[in-house]
Amino acid sequence: MSNKSKLFDLWASLYPGDNQQRLEQFLEALISQSLDGESFQADWYKDAVVYSLYVDLFSNDFKSLTEKLDYLKGLGVSCLWLLPILDSPMRDAGFDIRNYDQIRPELLGLEENSSVAEREEVFGKFLAEAHNHGIRVIFDVAINHCSEEHPWFVEAKKSEDNPYRDYFIWSRDKSLYRDARIIFKGMETSNWEPFGDSNFFHRFFNFQPDLNYKNPEVLLAMCRNLLYWQSLGVDGFRADAIPYLWKEEGTDCENLPQTHSVVKFFRAILDYVKPGTLLLAEACQVPETVVKYMGDDDECHAAYHFPLMPMFYKSIALHSSQPVRNILNPSVTPSLPENGQWFTFLRCHDELSLELVYVTEEDRKYIHESYCHEPEWNFRLGEGISARLANLFQFDDRRIGLAYSMMLSLPGTPVIYYGDEFGKENDVDYYKEMIKLVGKDDTRFLVRGKINWDKRELQLADKETFQAKVFSRIQKMLFARNKWKVFGRGSITFLNLGDLSNVHNDSILAYYRKYEHENILVIQNLSDESQEVILPSNMNSSFELINEKKIPSGILRLEPYAYFWLRE
C-alpha cells in the first residue's frame, strides 16, 4: 500500500465523519516536496551513537556548538539529539513549546525580531557542518501538549466560539477522564486547570495544555511543523509523551488505538516526503507496550528501553547478572519489527525513573536505597532519583566504565547524556536558579546545568583526574564499537561462565553478539571482587577490542568491575 493510501485509511479511521477533502488539499500542497521512491539509508539509526545535549547548556548557541563538532566526532558520536530548541518560555526546560516552527533566537545568536530567512540560514549552516562531520541531527518535539503562551492557546482563551478553542480539551466537569493518572505527582494535584467558568486538560504541568487530536486540524497543523523541519534537513524527531495523545472517557487515556493511528499518520506523512526521517518514541511503558509503538514497521522506527535502564543499576548494586538478563528475556522484551530498534541509556535529562509502570515496589525500594545518596535527589515521592551518573556511582570511574560497557555492548542504539563522558556532577546552583524561574521544586534541574569548558579541558588534559579516566574509558569503548555493526544490529546469546570448579558465577554478565560474520564475546565482572572464568574454547586465541591486545587462552582474570570485549 502506498503512503498516500495509508494516509487516507488512517484519516478515515480517526475522523469517520470527515469528507477527506481537507486531507486531499493538504497532500496536494506536498506534491512538489515529495521524494518518495528515492534511495535513502532508512535504518541509519541502528549504527548510530547518539549524544544528547541542551544547546545553551552545552555550548551557549549553535555557532559554538558547531565549533564543538570536532570534539564530538573525536568522542565517537554520529548523531546529535538536541534537547528542546524550539521557542519556549522555558518553564519546563523547553518542553513547553510556544512556537513549533521557530528556534529560540538566543540559540541562533539572533535578536528577537530576526527574520525567518536569517534563522533558517544560521540553523542550516549548523546542519550542513554536522552532516559534513558525519553527524546526523534529531530534536525533541512535544506533540502531546504546548505552552499556555502558544498562539493557539492564547486565541483559545478568548472565547468559547474562537476557532482555536477546539485545539484543546475543555470541560466544566472535572470528573471527565477521572481514570487518567497524574503524571507529575508531588507537583500537580489534578489534570484539570481552572480558567473562567471552565477547565482545560493537562497531563503534565498546569501551564502545558494538552492538544486535542480529535480535531483533525490539530493533526494537520502538527504534520506541517514536522514537515517544515524535515525540509530544512533535520534527520529525525524524538516524539515526546506519545502514549497520551488521544483521550477517551472510561479509559486511563494511555496507549489507546487512536493514539497508534495518529503515530502511524505522522510516520506515513514523513515517509511520503522523505523516507528515512527517524521517528523516535518516548514512551515510559513496559517493553510489550512500547514495541507496539513501532507497529509493523509503520509507526516509530525506534523507542527507548526505559525498563532496561534501572536494571543496569540494580545489577551492579546486587552484583548479579539476573536483573539485566531477566529484563531482556524474550518473555519480557519481545522481538522487534525488522527495522525496529531500542535506544538505550544510563542517564538522561530527567530523573533515574523508577515508575511502577515498569519496576516493582521491591525494585524501586532497592535501587532507591542503593543510589539515592542525598535526600534532595528524591523525585516524585520515590518514583525516581535526580542525580548525575557520577553522583550515583559516587565518582567511581570503574563502575561508570562497567555501566557503559553494558549499555554499549547490549542490543540497541546507545545514548550518551552530555557531560557524562567526563563525569559531570550535579549542578546545585543551576537547580536553585531554575526553581526561582519556574516556581516548581523540580529536582530534575540537578542533572542539567552548563558546562564550563575551560575547567573541563584542564581536567581532561591531566590523565590522573577522575574526568580524564572516565573520558578515556568511554572514548575507547566507542572507538571499538564503531568498528563493528554487530553491536547495533546483532543477536544476543547469554552465557553461564564458571571457574575451574565449573560453578556458574552469577556476578559475571557474559554474552555473545553475532551479526553476519562478526562474533563478539562480552564478559563483565559486576562485583567488587576479582573473578576468574574459563574462556570458551573458541576464544582461546582471542583479541580484546577495547584495549586492542591479545588475551591469553584458558582462564580470564577480571578485576573488580572489569569488562572485556573479545573476538576470535
Give the residue among 567, 565, 473, 558 at the shortest CA–CA distance from 508. 558
**Measured distance CA(548)–CA(532) in Å, rounded:** 21
Give the residue among 283, 300, 146 at the shortest CA–CA distance from 212. 146
Residue 36 has pLDDT above 60, yes or no: no
C-alpha cell at 558: 577480571
Q: How far is CA 83 from the centre of its chain?
A: 9
From residue 316, alpha-carbon distances to 147, 410, 496 in Å are 40, 15, 17
Mean pLDDT, range 146-174, rounded to an integer: 97
3-state secondary structure of 445: helix
For residue 500, count other CB atoms closer than 10 A to its CB.
10
- pLDDT tens-digit series, residues 216-275: 999 999 999 999 999 999 999 999 999 999 999 999 999 999 999 999 999 999 999 988
- pLDDT tens-digit series, residues 315-369: 999 999 999 999 999 999 999 999 999 999 999 999 999 988 889 999 999 999 9
* Per annotation, catalytic residue among 43, 56, 193, 240: 240
- pLDDT score recorded for residue 222: 97
Task: Give, for 404, the enclosing helix (H) or strand (E).
Answer: helix 397-409
- pLDDT tens-digit series, residues 198-215: 999 999 999 999 999 999
- pLDDT score recorded for residue 1: 63
- pLDDT tens-digit series, residues 460-479: 999 999 999 999 999 999 99
**Measured distance CA(432)–CA(445) in Å, rounded:** 8
Backbone phi and psi for residue 510, each to the nearest 5 degrees, phi listed first = -135, 145
Residue 38 has pLDDT above 80, yes or no: no
> Which band of pLDDT confidence, cut at 50, 70 and 90, is reported for residue 128?
very high
Mean pLDDT, range 403-431, rounded to an integer: 97
- pLDDT score recorded for residue 503: 80
| Residues, the chain | 568
DSSP 8-state class, residue 92: S
Mean pLDDT, range 113-120, rounded to an integer: 95
Contact yes or no for 412/312 (Cβ under 8 A): no
Average pLDDT score, the chain: 94
Contact yes or no for 352/154 (Cβ under 8 A): no
Helix axes 257-273, 3-14, angle to 10 degrees: 150
DSSP track, 509-537 = EEEEEEETTEEEEEEEE-SSS-EEEEPPG
Mean pLDDT, range 4-14, rounded to an integer: 94
C-alpha cell at 522: 562480552
Mean pLDDT, range 114-122, rounded to an integer: 96
Q: Give the domains, in start order, of the chain with CATH numbers.
A: 45-147+214-425+452-481 (3.20.20.80), 148-210 (3.90.400.10), 490-567 (2.60.40.1180)
- pLDDT tens-digit series, residues 211-221: 999 999 999 99
3-state secondary structure of 397: helix
- pLDDT tens-digit series, residues 438-452: 887 889 999 999 999
> Which band of pLDDT confidence, cut at 50, 70 and 90, is reported for residue 35?
low
C-alpha cell at 268: 506515513
- pLDDT score recorded for residue 32: 62
**Measured distance CA(108)–CA(110) in Å, rounded:** 5
DSSP 8-state class, residue 165: G
Spatial neighbors of 173 by CB under 8 A, at least 6 apart, are none
* Per annotation, catalytic residue among 282, 420, 421, 427: 282
Claim: this prediction has a pTM higher than 0.75? yes
> Which band of pLDDT confidence, cut at 50, 70 and 90, is reported for residue 88?
very high
Residue 39 has pLDDT above 60, yes or no: no
- pLDDT score recorded for residue 336: 95
- pLDDT score recorded for residue 424: 98
- pLDDT score recorded for residue 37: 47
Contact yes or no for 250/179 (Cβ under 8 A): yes
C-alpha cell at 61: 548557541
Mean pLDDT, range 511-525, rounded to an integer: 97
Is residue 217 part of the annotated active site? The answer reads no
Give the residue among 64, 184, 210 at the shortest CA–CA distance from 129. 64
Is residue 454 part of the annotated active site? The answer reads no
> Which band of pLDDT confidence, cut at 50, 70 and 90, is reported for residue 33?
low
